Structure 1
Amino acid sequence: MRISASLTRIIGIANVVVVTVAIIGLSLLPPEGRPHAEPKDVAKVDNGVAPATPAPVGQPPGVVSTPEFARQVHANEVGLVPVLMYHRILAKRVASIDRTPAQLRKELEKLAKQGYVPISAREFATGDIQVPAGKFPVVLTFDDGHPSHFALDASGNPAPDTAVGVIQEVARKYPSFRPVATFWINREPFGLRDRESQTAAVRWLVDHGYEVANHTWNHPNLRALKKKKVSEQIVRIERLLKKLGVPPSRTMALPYGSMPRTKKAARTGSWDGSRYDFAGVFLAGAEPSLSPYAKKFDRGAIQRIQSNGKKGECRKWCSQYWLEWLQKHPDKRYVSDGDPDRISVPEKQRGKIGAKRGLQVIAY
């Protein structure tokens, strides 16, 4: 069908309007949220950036990726993602896996300066990665629901030097650093025993974008338990979370990183009439995770990295080593295209994408 000259002019004008709005939108982003390209380069990809649907609260505005735009921001959405594992945050460390508030603050500020944007374990496991173009997702996870992770002060705000207090502080200092983390809890979340205070704590976290999820009832070695007992440990926490007003968990962390003898029991199962089905089960591993879009990604055994320096066993297996390694090997790292509806990768990485993701692939 032949298009009339007037219709052609209308289409041309509409394209110019869309492109102009997109460029203005990028120019208004803070420096931390812009892609690697300088403003003069953004104009070169006028056909590659267009406003997408509004993002959820706390998420960046989206773009529509094209091969040219993906190339400019060096997108690689089958790259490695650091999933950092924390335990107690103490003024004076007792165990080797403890971190001080100062150490946590230093690590989070380093992440912010390097362009990392936190997402929750749930968002990661489900592939809901909404990170600005040219930035890198990082998953902050805290095991055991320790009192040092979260407490409210007399004003109803997160207490200073708790994990949440430090995260909020860093986010205020670095606006591009999204205040999001996952807290996997046991039967007494954050050391609280009465239901009223447990509910207040958990609801504050959920209402402010944090994930609170399953770490079993009393933290046993699941490999030592029969399948039915494994399911009981998981279901009892799910029932507690429901009483506290939390939606069903989409993720869980294995106590001690120990997998049940029946691996499937950690991810799906039932006990006493209640079922569970997790999008991701997390280990206490020692290396970055594959992208959830990768063919070899195993959502039943997701790797994590212990937060620590480079001493002893951590010389090659903890966060300082791996963050330095990823900084030195940028081609191995997950880099976002800013478009949650598309997976953008260098052409040579196309074959690594899982075929069942259901998202459009952009290769360049």
Structure 2
Amino acid sequence: MLTRILGVANAVVITIAIAALLLLPTAGEPTVGRTAAVGTAKPSQDPQATPAAKPDLPSSDLPPAVNATPEFAKQVKANELGLVPVLMYHRIMKKRFASIDRTPSQVRQELEKLARQGYVPITAKEFVTGDIRVPAGKFPVVLTFDDGHASHFALDGGGMPKKDTAVGIIYDVARKYPGFRPVATFWINHYPFGLRRQEDQAAAVRWLTERGFEVANHTWSHPNLAVLPKKKVKEQIVRLERLLKKLGAPASDTLALPFGSMPHPKKIAKAGSWDGTDYDVEGVFLAGAEPSFSPYAKNFDAGAIQRIQSNGKRGECRKWCSQYWLEWLNKHPGERFVSDGDPQRISIPRKTEGNIAVKRRAQLNAY
């Protein structure tokens, strides 16, 4: 489908991202003793006391599966070798200070548009492992948030997600559009969600993971891994893995590269060991700038997964960011991943069966 060279495209976005992040104001950094992100002013507001499910929060339960036959797959126009948008968000700010910032209104409008168009969120882990349980005829989308910023998750005085945080916005959209599954992936550094105290960090991570969100590795201090020695790269990944373990999160199945910069050799981003601790992730995610290949496709590279920066169509984003690509996918529906609703089968038009990964051929349901 795409003839442009992915490496060049990604390099463009990496350069832009590095420049933008270097300009971020210090006001966006966590402060010592900050606990507002999880609302710990009163014991009753501590996420530890919040049950795993609340009646006023939409459920992240997976939809029931169907048994897809070739006839059914054709009827819903299933194409599970199609492209999947993996959207990349950073800070959510009422006033944008950098090009990669988004306002709450911009995030809300984009998510509502996705819901109206038939997209259903899945986590990065579900995507990379091929556990794509999206209703028949619908399209998966992966919502990812980098850096664990305080604008991604915070609770109000009643123990509910604050309105203009990422989690608050996701739940609002899910209430308005019940088919919009409220899940996302948060890739964190060593002060997740602006919190300094480990007990507050653990409470935040527990609140999210109990409700279907993924919290995973974005390295300890967000360095440019491309310029670090191998040992330092491994240290950055392991130190964050150790923190996640202390906070009660499962070992990371996914990792987002800071600035999208790949270490050398590439393989150490996916698996390695430092100071007696091993790590082994299923998927490594870049910083842009195109939709990802399906995890069932033979040309899918789990060690370098494309993402799309959430943004409009101005400047460098004219052909690389979310508005452009979501419009492109709408104009080229034959290129988009369309689910058959059956997680046990991979349904595709027969003319494309040569593109399926060898290890997935036993699941093939061609029509």
TM-score (normalizing by structure 1): 0.84
**Corresponding residue number in structure 2 for 1:215:** 218
The CA distance in 2 between the partners of 1:159 and 1:166, in whole Å, is: 8
**Residues 1-364 of structure 1: pairs in structure 2 closer than 5 A:** 58-357=61-360, 359-364=362-367
Larger radius of gyration: 1
Render the CA deviation track for 1:54-82: whole Å, top value 9, x for unaligned: xx961111001111000000000000000
Which amino acid is the alignment partner of residue 356 of structure 2?
I
Render the CA deviation track for 1:248-290: whole Å, top value 9, x for unaligned: 0000000000000210000000001110111000000110000
The CA distance in 2 between the partners of 1:184 and 1:190, in whole Å, is: 10
* DSSP 3-state at the match of 1:356: helix
CA contact (8 A) 1:341 1:359 kept: no
CA contact (8 A) 2:257 2:285 kept: yes
* DSSP 3-state at the match of 2:365: strand
- Which has the bigger relative contact order, CA under 8 A and spacing at least 6? 2
Which amino acid is the alignment partner of residue 244 of structure 1?
L
The CA distance in 1 between the partners of 2:196 and 2:172, in whole Å, is: 27
> How many pairs does the alignment contain?
309
Instruction: Report the CA distance between 1:358 and its aligned residue.
Output: 6.1
The CA distance in 2 between the partners of 1:160 and 1:69, in whole Å, is: 40
- Residues 252 and 355 (structure 1), Cα distance of their counterparts in 2 relative to 1, 3 Å cut: same
**Corresponding residue number in structure 2 for 1:52:** none
CA contact (8 A) 2:86 2:144 kept: yes
The CA distance in 2 between the partners of 1:93 and 1:274, in whole Å, is: 39
Which amino acid is the alignment partner of residue 277 of structure 1?
D
The CA distance in 2 between the partners of 1:84 and 1:160, in whole Å, is: 21
Instruction: Report the CA distance between 1:357 and its aligned residue.
Output: 2.5
Instruction: Report the CA distance between 1:359 and its aligned residue.
Output: 4.4
Render the CA deviation track for 1:118-144: whole Å, top value 9, x for unaligned: 000000000000000000000000000
* DSSP 3-state at the match of 1:218: coil
The CA distance in 1 between the partners of 2:233 and 2:254, in whole Å, is: 15
* DSSP 3-state at the match of 1:325: helix
CA contact (8 A) 1:343 1:359 kept: no
Identify unmatched segments of 5+ residues in structure 1.
1-55
Q: Which runs of 4+ in 1 moved over 4 A?
A: none
Instruction: Report the CA distance between 1:178 and its aligned residue.
Output: 0.2
Identity across matched positions, percent: 74
* DSSP 3-state at the match of 1:117: strand
